[in-house]
Structure 1
Amino acid sequence: MRLDVQPWGATLAELVDAARAAEAAGAGVAWTPELHRSAPVVAAAIAAGTQTIGVGTGIALAFARSAMLTALTALDLDELSGGRFRLGLGTGVARLNQDWHGADFEKPVPRLRDTVAIIRAVEAGGDPIAHEGVRSIAVRGWRRPYPAARPQIPIYLAAVGPAMLRLTAAIADGWISHELCPPDDLRTRIRPVLTGSRKLDIVASACCSVDADPAIARRRAANVVGFYASVRSYADMFGAAGFGPVTTAANAALRAGRPADDLGDLIPDEMVDAYTIAGTPAHCAARITEYDGLADAIKLSPPSYGLPADQVREAQKSLLELVGSRP
């Protein structure tokens, strides 16, 4: 199983240095999220600053940009990286699209299907370029005059619900999981939908907090779980696992004015253990093996929510040492 990373940096320069360290440690792909930074811009910085590691958006928001602009960005990134780029797309939730980006969120499944179809049409070139659906495109008199690095760029979709998982299985080259993806959920709910006649690159994700003191490792990871525990969209998932009272407390704390990334004190150790990989190097290495046979890769990210930069740096250093120690 491939070990991928989601590098962190307080500056872009530091982030690129972290990607280089991941490359030296033997990581397969450096994925760039889209929350506090632009995923394509960070991917471009990593592509320019590395030589061999794969580079992917993990994930870029599919509806905050036009499908054609997303296609052109992907083509440029693939050229810049020498054919190392992977386009990871996700819908995001309704509030993020509508309130943060002024983007419509109607019919997300057919809209994402159309987005991928338009990207493929632009990538294929030709004149005219046309697609009709929930989202359409009609381009005449335009042709990209530059050679593509590859005939086709791998597209990964972030899917959580059953309809989006079925869409991923039907049209994507890969799947990239939510940050909280326990092995049992992958085994019982996700793989049965994704595993079919088409071969997908299945990428699980996990916050991985490594420290010689397991208590420190857990507490660093707790804010990640607390962030999601405060969001109503995840209440059913946590409730089914027996953590309903925790999500109620976290949501109440958020409404009372507590920062969403500083709720770790409300999260018990057993909940951290259920949704992250946290502990000593030996413990974390053993937890990673639980994904063998279930995923083609696991994307590991250091804990960063609500932590001072020096603690994130220390956590990332320990994580990359773990990646480098894997046979």
Structure 2
Amino acid sequence: MRLGPLLGFENSFETVVSVAQEMESVGAASVMLAEAGRSAVTQAAAVIAATDEIEVGTYVVNAFARSPWLTGLTARDLDEMSGGRFVLGVGTGNVHFNDWYMGIDSSKPLAAMRDFVQIVREVVAAPAGSRVTYNGPVYEMGKWRATYAPLRSSVPVYLSASGPQMMRLAAEVSDGIGVGIMASVEFMRDIVRPNAVASAEAVGREGSELRFPMGALVSVNQDSEAARDAARASICGLFHPVPHPYYDSQMRQQGFSEAANMLSELMPEGRTSEAKQLLPEEIVDSLTISGTPSECSRRIAQYEGVADQVVMMRVAQRNEPVGVAAYEPILELVSEVNSR
């Protein structure tokens, strides 16, 4: 199983870079950068400059915050900087944040994302001297000519998807379906993979060539119950100050509509303690990777064959140290998984 952290929530660039270096030293497969409090692109450049072999990617950049042309150029540059270690994860972003921060209505993203990903893939693969022309219902592009050869024939592009329509689109136009945190083994095995493969093959693509990276809430603590309690708090946080539409949808698709309704009611009012008490244990068991390092290692093993990569979003623990030291349990987990 390919394993690595999702960074981007740390207090300093020094911590981001230092954690990435530590991950490389223990044999993690990748370091992915989130676009949250920091730019995923800037973080990726910093990590690329500080590492030698580990795969570096964005998970994910917000397509509505940038043009597809510039995103393609950025991916070409980062791939060259890294010596061919870069992967581009792209998504729609949070519909609420797009509205609040940028005044953008992203509530109907399918056509935009189809155009966006197709332009990006053409730009990253364009040989020196070739032109890229594209005419879509949302984005158009003309007259651009690649001035130099890309390092590789293409850069992997993953499209973040949760709902069935976006998953279908990801299978049709991208290199992989970037699944967000809170996906059970059954969700990946019975819904994501078979539907994506069928959608790819329906448009003449090889379904076997699709990749399936999966985000995961990973709560590691030598005290198993403390890890689970931290995971409960993290799940509740996804519904504050308003429910995150991606995770709300993903919960409901996996049969937890009652819990999603409860969280949608309590968390906007700040009733975290009550929400944690009412959260079903089955959600922690099946939608997170929580417990001691050994318990988490066994949970990760359950995803063998259904996810190609686990992108670990670290869950903060009560009274944990600051900086790189907070990642010691995750580093231990990576070492344990690699030793299996």
Residue type at the aligned position of 1:4: G
Residue type at the aligned position of 1:46: V
Encode CA deviations 1:203-226: one digit per residue, 9 max, x unaligned. Answer: 122111111110111122222211
SS of 1:59's partner is strand
Asked if the contact 1:10–1:309 (Cα under 8 Å) also holds between the matched residues in 2, the reply is no
What is the distance in 2 between the residues matched to 1:120 and 1:82?
A: 18
Asked if the contact 1:278–1:284 (Cα under 8 Å) also holds between the matched residues in 2, the reply is yes
Percent of matched pairs sharing the same residue? 35
Structure 1 segment 85-96 matched on structure 2, within 5 A: 85-96=86-97
Asked if the contact 1:9–1:18 (Cα under 8 Å) also holds between the matched residues in 2, the reply is no
Cα 1:68/1:258, change in 2 over 3 Å: farther
Corresponding position of 1:320: 331
Question: TM-score w.r.t. structure 1 length?
Answer: 0.89
Corresponding position of 1:131: 134
User: Could you tell me how far 1:243 is from its partner in structure 2?
Assistant: 4.7
Asked if the contact 2:163–2:250 (Cα under 8 Å) also holds between the matched residues in 1, the reply is no
What is the distance in 2 between the residues matched to 1:68 and 1:143?
A: 11
CA RMSD of aligned residues (A): 2.7
Corresponding position of 1:177: 179
User: Could you tell me how far 1:308 is from its partner in structure 2?
Assistant: 6.9
Asked if the contact 1:206–1:299 (Cα under 8 Å) also holds between the matched residues in 2, the reply is yes
SS of 2:65's partner is coil
What is the distance in 2 between the residues matched to 1:95 and 1:316?
A: 30
Cα 1:78/1:309, change in 2 over 3 Å: farther
* Runs of 5+ consecutive residues of structure 1 not aligned to the other structure: none
Encode CA deviations 1:103-151: one digit per residue, 9 max, x unaligned. Answer: 34264122111111211332315464321112233332x5343442212
Match of 2:288 among 252, 276, 291: 276
Structure 1 segment 176-215 matched on structure 2, within 5 A: 176-195=178-197, 196=201, 197-198=206-207, 199-215=209-225
What is the distance in 1 between the residues matched to 2:167 and 2:254?
A: 21
Cα 1:131/1:35, change in 2 over 3 Å: same
Encode CA deviations 1:35-66: one digit per residue, 9 max, x unaligned. Answer: 11111111111111100000110011112101
Residue type at the aligned position of 1:172: S
Residue type at the aligned position of 1:275: L
Corresponding position of 1:297: 309
Asked if the contact 1:57–1:89 (Cα under 8 Å) also holds between the matched residues in 2, the reply is yes
Corresponding position of 1:39: 40
Encode CA deviations 1:278-298: one digit per residue, 9 max, x unaligned. Answer: 111221111001101111111
Residue type at the aligned position of 1:279: G
SS of 2:233's partner is helix
Cα 1:71/1:209, change in 2 over 3 Å: same
Residue 217 (str. 1) matches residue 217 (str. 2): no
Match of 1:159 among 158, 161, 165: 161
User: Could you tell me how far 1:187 is from its partner in structure 2?
Assistant: 1.2
What is the distance in 1 between the residues matched to 2:219 and 2:189?
A: 23
Encode CA deviations 1:52-87: one digit per residue, 9 max, x unaligned. Answer: 000110011112101111111111111111111001
Corresponding position of 2:111: 110
Residue type at the aligned position of 2:288: T
Cα 1:270/1:56, change in 2 over 3 Å: same
Corresponding position of 1:4: 4
Match of 1:253 among 259, 266, 280: 266
Asked if the contact 1:169–1:194 (Cα under 8 Å) also holds between the matched residues in 2, the reply is yes
Encode CA deviations 1:152-188: one digit per residue, 9 max, x unaligned. Answer: 1110111111111111112211222111111111111
What is the distance in 2 between the residues matched to 1:180 and 1:146?
A: 41
Greater mean deviation of Cα atoms: 111-120 or 96-105: 96-105
What is the distance in 2 between the residues matched to 1:225 and 1:312?
A: 23
Corresponding position of 1:226: 236
Asked if the contact 2:236–2:267 (Cα under 8 Å) also holds between the matched residues in 1, the reply is no
Corresponding position of 2:23: 22
Residue type at the aligned position of 1:225: I
SS of 1:86's partner is strand
Asked if the contact 2:34–2:58 (Cα under 8 Å) also holds between the matched residues in 1, the reply is yes
What is the distance in 2 between the residues matched to 1:137 and 1:157?
A: 20
Residue type at the aligned position of 1:129: V
Residue type at the aligned position of 2:28: A
Question: TM-score w.r.t. structure 2 length?
Answer: 0.85
Corresponding position of 1:82: 83
Residue type at the aligned position of 2:145: R
Asked if the contact 1:156–1:176 (Cα under 8 Å) also holds between the matched residues in 2, the reply is yes
